[in-house]
Amino acid sequence: MNKKVLSIVKRYQADKTRLLDMLWEIQRQYDYIPHGAILTLADELNLSVNDIRETSSFYHFFHMRPAGKHRFYLSNTVIARMNGYQQVLMALEQATGATLGSMDVSGTFGVYDTACIGLSDQEPAMLIDDVVFTRLTVDKVQWIIAQLQQGYSAAEIANPQQLPTHSIAYVDQLVETHICQAGPVFFQQETDYHRLLQQCLTHDPDAVIKTVLNARLQGLGGAGFSTGEKWRLCRETASQTKYVIGNADEGEPGTYKDRALLIRSPKEVFLGMIIAAWAIGAAQGILYLRAEYIYLKQFLETELQQLREAGLLGRHILGREDFSFDIRIQMGAGAYICGDESALLESCEGKRGTPRVKPPFPAQQGYLGMPTTVNNVETLAAVTRLMEKGAAWYAGLGFATSAGSRLVSVSGDCARPGIYEVEWGLTLNQLLEQVGAVEPWAIQVSGPSGECVAVELSGERRFGYDDLVCNGSLMIFNRSRDLLDIVHQFMQFFVTESCGICTPCRVGNVELRQKIERIIAGKGCQQDLDDLLSWGEIIRRTSRCGLGATSPNPILTTLAQFNQLYQAKLIASQGTLLPSFDVKAALQGHEQARIKVMQIESEPSKEVVK
Amino acid sequence: MTNSHKKTLFSHDLPATPMDPALQASRDQKIKVAMIGLCGCWGCTLSLLDMDEALIGLLDKVTILRSSLTDIKRIRQRCAIGFIEGGVANEENIETLKEYREHCDILISVGACAIWGGVPAMRNEVELSSCLEEAYVDSITAVANAIPTIPYHEDIPRITTKVYPCHEVVKMDYFIPGCPPDGGTILKVLDDLVNGREFDLPTTMNRYD
Amino acid sequence: MSIQITLDGRPVSTQAGANLVDVAAEHGVYIPTLCYLKGKPCLGTCRICSVSVNGRIAAACTVSVSDGMIVAVDEPALADMRKALIEMLFIEGNHNCPSCEKSGRCDLQAVGYDVGMLVPRFPYRFTPHQREVGAERIWLERDRCIFCQRCVDYIHDQHSGQKIFTIKGRGSNARIEIDKTLADQMSAEQVREAAELCPVGCIIEKGVGFNRPIGERKFEIKSVRQRALEDDV
């Protein structure tokens, strides 16, 4: 083992910032990360053993103990639950003999839950050993497991024609990409990248930044910060070394537009990074790709290689001795929080994905302490397009406060789930009409971190930074859906994904989840609703990063627009005992415990054990 | 643990000598105060007694209905201020607390056990079955070769699954932390309430140990 | 560079870039802290120093003052927010003050007193935590860890620079770990430093327990507020 691990370490030149890559390679080798491997890593990297565990235990795809030769990660989103998640899970458990969260006795199969894997238009879906299976049914699951038991690998089952794994045909075989409404900004295929980049490089960096500023492009990852401003801040720093990072850690449940962009317009994304590099003066770039999109990696590597061969990437881009820039792909390992730009930087450095204390901002001190611009995949693609068509063209799209358009990943109760390009200003009702929403009732805009709105009350609101801000996720629920249960699942999501570095998010979200459980169980009173509001507000305002700042939203926004659902669950106090106090539960423990103890005592083996 | 179907006599139902009418009349004028103990160590109740002679000054205004001197926990008349020591650890505690709440205008948790469960709540971190096993089966004082038994009888209150702070069972109005709080602290609270001032525990009197 | 900020409505002159917690203390305004340690890199984990800076809530320990900054500390809503955060820490762990070696010199307890916490608004959890007693001279009482990360960031092996204390897992499943081999190589002073650095009774030096009588313990001699305002930590 030592030798294999040493060769992995050697390949990464014992660079501890590449710890995630090394851990991935070790896990691919042994199906988990053995203690012995960690000992070797610790020795070679001059880290304490616990330091390595500190990183590895942060990411949910890393296993410190044997976790099964084939590891299944079933996406547990609310959309999956609307489409047969439960039956699929039962079939999985039955066919593999493994129960959720563990492996079967033979160590062949491990079945695990995972948050949204960016396939809400084709769920239930799951990852198995670096490939993905979508539109799962009980039959399909049984078939897959039977194939695995016959000795076929997951890769062979997913790719029976053995298409080259770097080809677009391979990617298309694994996942469907539904672009239902494209343009004017995205998925325009006619771009001449060579000409475009040449044209960009004739302008000095300041002029490029000015164009982006004039286009009024705002970051499309969710925060909506001015992209030009971000670049300007980065450019103005004195440092010689700067970095451009493409954020492809698309983790917001319900979002899959970045996946569509990486599949259909990868060069537009990469060109955006190259333009950013020119603008800020960076020589190195990283595309931080979420682990859930591992099946895109080789395809994207090939796209990068094509750009290098065309002279658009690498040393002396387009023959210019003053401009060299290359991009590497950094794989994540399962942590929603890494979508936060400073957490992403930590992760790129081989550490826990903990959001940093700000300031300093990444534009001042980012990757490895150097000025860095982190832009979302969609923002980068928009940059490419606006450089091609001009700032005025882009700024002319949308309306006064919100220029341009954005991609929305639509899922849930509608006829045509898929990707829709929405020019800012469109109303919610107009979009619902377009996607063939079926009796829409509640719309989760921007995923759990966004807001849940009632169509009745908010249908005429328009998408825009001053009204219905959208980060790319839109889930449609009709009246048959249990909204409080959905709220509970979203709270569970935040509890699972909280990094735990700050008190309000780590502790508070557990409290909110428990309150929701109490209300759903019919043990809540008006005081509990008041608590939800005030506690939610405290968490929202005091948390360290965007996760905590938005985590109470599922509760706060449904309390605002669906208050009657909560009211209907409340009970009045009967007598002086609090409604939340469960007398039955308080008293049944004794008898249960007594029976349990007496049963143990009556077992004949007990004496021997003693 | 209702005794409606049985002929059980509780301490609070015992016949008592009628009080001197004049004394009774003077008491009726006063603010009624009580302190009872649930699952605790009596330390907080002793702190109440630790008010010592300071209490004399208040006796023009208050009369004490319940205290550790009699350890009668049930109360059948309206009471203005009820102090509670101890958390809720068994069935009888639930009933006592419920009834106490019904009869008291103001209810005050006194001490760590009432406020968060205290030492008895250390069992909350383990299964109740393990506690019972430890106490009755694997105990070093268990009789050798005897069939181990976990006491269970309708007259013995069932132990609750967990130990609960009082305010998780009924609404509590005020809290006096401490393990135990000083007599002076209890006196301060009592004096404020009796004299119509707001409950206010200064930082210097607040202690968790 | 000398600048002016507004602190609870008062104009205050100070130096640009100074830490807000320190600036406030210098001008008689106490902001409770747990993870913050003057002169050490800011951790920004506990958030109990949350104040209003130009109308937004910020952890004061993460704020460097700049000219014209408007800071509010002593407002009921803000005080309640800080209190809530302290209460969260009390219910998350098992903080059994009566049986804790650190009682009377525990920062968490001291700030609890300062904000007037009588009982947390959140329900107690009683989550079991395994204690770690394997190191020769250090005892980790995980019931009391508040994840401030002081030990993680400030205590390193004196030879290799490696971390001795680390966090394992994430979110509400996180727990503090100690590298026993490295811990056993710590000097006596470093062990003491670690135990004192810990704002609660999680890192305990073995053999040193209740060595101060009640009434003579750190925060009984002088409250946490007095200490902060007199710059006497």
Residue with tokens 């001008």: C27
CB-side neighbour CA atoms (13 Å) of A154: 18
Interface test mutation site (partner A, options B2, B99, B158, max chain A beta carbons within 10 A):
B158
From chain B, pick out residues whose CB is under 8 angstroms from the CB of A585. Answer: 161
- The rounded mean pLDDT for chain B is 90
Q: Do C69 and C136 lie in a common domain?
A: no
Alpha helices, H only, A397-508: 428-434, 455-458, 483-497, 503
Q: A368: helix, coil or strand?
A: helix
What is the pLDDT at residue C232? 59
Q: Does A261 fall in a domain?
A: yes
What is the pLDDT at residue A607? 46
| DSSP assignments along C79-124, one per residue | HHHHHHHHHHHHHHTT--GGG-TTTTS-HHHHHHHHTT-SS-SSPP
Q: Which of B116, B179, B201 sits opposite C124 (nearest CB)?
A: B116
Name which of B155, B120, B169 is nearest A583 in CA terms.
B169
From chain C, pick out residues whose CB is under 8 angstroms from the CB of A54. Answer: 163, 166-168, 177
Q: Does C227 fall in a domain?
A: no
Q: Does B13 fall in a domain?
A: no
Q: Do C101 and C211 lie in a common domain?
A: yes
What is the pLDDT at residue B3? 45
Whether C64 sits inside 8 A of A359 (CB atoms) is yes
From chain C, pick out residues whose CB is under 8 angstroms from the CB of B124. Answer: 124, 126
Range of the domain at B103: 30-123+158-197
Tell me which of A294 and B204 has the higher pLDDT: A294
Q: Does B193 fall in a domain?
A: yes
What are A292-308's pLDDT values in tens digits? 999 999 999 999 999 99
Cis-peptide, bond into residue A359, ω within 30° of zero: yes
Q: Which of C94, C103, C116 sits opposite B206 (nearest CB)?
A: C116
Query: pLDDT exceeding 90 applies to what percent of chain A?
Result: 94
C interface residues, B as partner, C-beta within 8 Å: 94-100, 103-104, 109, 112-114, 116-119, 123-124, 126-128, 214, 223
Q: Do A212 and A89 lie in a common domain?
A: no
Range of the domain at A122: 70-162
User: What mean pLDDT comes out for the span A384-388?
Assistant: 96
- In this structure, are residues A241 and A370 in contact, taking their beta carbons and an 8 Å threshold? yes
Q: CA-CA distance, A531 to A529, in Å (whole number)? A: 5
Whether A589 sits inside 8 A of B159 (CB atoms) is yes
Q: Do C132 and C215 lie in a common domain?
A: yes
Domain C-terminal end among A362, A381, A396: A396
Q: CA-CA distance, C227 to C233, in Å (whole number)? A: 6
Q: Do A10 and A139 lie in a common domain?
A: no
From chain C, pick out residues whose CB is under 8 angstroms from the CB of A46. Answer: 160-162
Q: Do C38 and C101 lie in a common domain?
A: no
Q: Does B41 fall in a domain?
A: yes
Whether C179 sits inside 8 A of A49 (CB atoms) is yes
- The rounded mean pLDDT for chain A is 96
Whether B169 sits inside 8 A of A598 (CB atoms) is no
Q: Do C120 and C177 lie in a common domain?
A: yes
Q: Does C129 fall in a domain?
A: yes
What is the pLDDT at residue A608? 42
Interface test mutation site (partner A, options C21, C53, C88, C107, max chain A beta carbons within 10 A):
C88
Structural domains in chain B (count): 1
Range of the domain at C12: 2-74
Whether A585 sits inside 8 A of B161 (CB atoms) is yes
Residues in chain C: 233
Q: Which of A577, A583, A593 sits opposite B132 (nearest CB)?
A: A593
The contacts of residue C25 (CB under 8 Å, 6+ apart) are C31, C228, C229, C231
Q: Which of A495, A504, A538 sits opposite C171 (nearest CB)?
A: A495
A610: pLDDT confidence band, cut at 50, 70 and 90?
A: very low
- In this structure, are residues A71 and A28 in contact, taking their beta carbons and an 8 Å threshold? no
Chains that touch C (3 or more CB pairs under 8 A): A, B
Q: Do C161 and C113 lie in a common domain?
A: yes
Q: Does B111 fall in a domain?
A: yes
Q: Which of C85, C147, C178 sits opposite A504 (nearest CB)?
A: C85
Q: Do A360 and A254 lie in a common domain?
A: yes
What is the pLDDT at residue A534? 97
Which residue in chain B is spatially nearest to C111 when comparing CA positions? B203
Domain C-terminal end among A367, A396, A425: A396
From chain B, pick out residues whose CB is under 8 angstroms from the CB of C110. Answer: none
What is the pLDDT at residue B200? 95
Q: A418: helix, coil or strand?
A: strand
Q: Do A277 and A307 lie in a common domain?
A: yes
Q: Which of C84, C157, C174 sits opposite A538 (nearest CB)?
A: C84
What are B22-76's pLDDT values in tens digits? 988 988 999 999 999 999 999 999 998 888 888 888 889 999 999 888 888 888 8
Q: Do A125 and A189 lie in a common domain?
A: no
Query: Angle B76-B78-B82 (CA atoms, 0-180°, nearest 5)?
Result: 95
pLDDT at A602 over 80: no
Q: CA-CA distance, B141 to A349, in Å (whole number)? A: 59
What is the pLDDT at residue A245? 98
Q: Does B144 fall in a domain?
A: no
Whether B208 sits inside 8 A of C109 (CB atoms) is yes
Q: Does B66 fall in a domain?
A: yes
B interface residues, A as partner, C-beta within 8 Å: 88, 91, 94, 98, 101-102, 127-129, 131-133, 136-137, 148, 150, 152, 158-162, 164, 168-171
Pairing of strands B79-85, B104-110: parallel
- In this structure, are residues A544 and A355 in contact, taking their beta carbons and an 8 Å threshold? yes
Q: CA-CA distance, C91 to C123, in Å (whole number)? A: 7
User: H or E segment at A139?
Assistant: helix A138-149
What is the pLDDT at residue C210? 87
From chain A, pick out residues whose CB is under 8 angstroms from the CB of B159. Answer: 589-590
Domain C-terminal end among C74, C107, C126: C74
Chains that touch B (3 or more CB pairs under 8 A): A, C
A561: pLDDT confidence band, cut at 50, 70 and 90?
A: very high
Whether A498 sits inside 8 A of C171 (CB atoms) is yes
What is the pLDDT at residue B111? 97
From chain C, pick out residues whose CB is under 8 angstroms from the CB of B109. Answer: 119
Long-range contacts of A167-175 (CB under 8 A, 24+ apart): A167/A299, A167/A302, A168/A263, A168/A299, A170/A295, A170/A299, A171/A263, A171/A295, A171/A296, A171/A299, A172/A263, A174/A131, A174/A132, A174/A134, A174/A295, A175/A119, A175/A122, A175/A132, A175/A134, A175/A259, A175/A263, A175/A295
Domain C-terminal end among A396, A415, A436: A396
- Whether chain C has a CB inside 8 Å of the CB on A46: the answer is yes
What are A144-176's pLDDT values in tens digits? 999 999 999 999 999 999 999 999 999 999 999
- CATH number for the domain that contains residue B185: 3.40.50.700
Which residue in chain B is spatially nearest to A577 when comparing CA positions? B170
In order along its 233 residues, chain C shows pLDDT tens digits of 899 999 999 999 999 999 999 999 999 999 999 999 999 999 999 999 999 999 999 999 999 999 999 999 999 999 999 999 999 999 999 999 999 999 999 999 999 999 999 999 999 999 999 999 999 999 999 999 999 999 999 999 999 999 999 999 999 999 999 999 999 999 999 999 999 999 999 999 999 888 899 999 999 999 999 999 997 55
What is the pLDDT at residue C93? 96
- Whether chain B has a CB inside 8 Å of the CB on A596: the answer is yes
User: What mean pLDDT comes out for the span B76-85?
Assistant: 94
Stretch among A324-328, A512-516, B56-60 having the lowest mean pLDDT: B56-60
Catalogue the E-assigned strands of chain B. 31-37, 62-66, 79-85, 88-90, 104-110, 159-164, 174-176
User: What mean pLDDT comes out for the span A116-134?
Assistant: 97
Whether B164 sits inside 8 A of A585 (CB atoms) is no
Which residue in chain A is spatially nearest to B168 when comparing CA positions? A581
Q: Which of A497, A500, A504 sits opposite C88 (nearest CB)?
A: A504
Q: Do A222 and A364 lie in a common domain?
A: yes
B6: pLDDT confidence band, cut at 50, 70 and 90?
A: low
In chain A, which among 562-581 make CB contacts under 8 A with chain C? none
Residue with tokens 């350890």: B71
Q: A277: helix, coil or strand?
A: helix
Structural domains in chain A (count): 4
- CATH number for the domain that contains residue A294: 3.40.50.11540
Structural domains in chain C (count): 2
Tokens of A284: 């190195």
Q: Do C109 and C216 lie in a common domain?
A: yes
Q: Do C33 and C119 lie in a common domain?
A: no
User: What mean pLDDT comes out for the span A300-326?
Assistant: 97
Whether C98 sits inside 8 A of B115 (CB atoms) is no
- CATH number for the domain that contains residue C38: 3.10.20.740
User: What mean pLDDT comes out for the span A186-203?
Assistant: 93
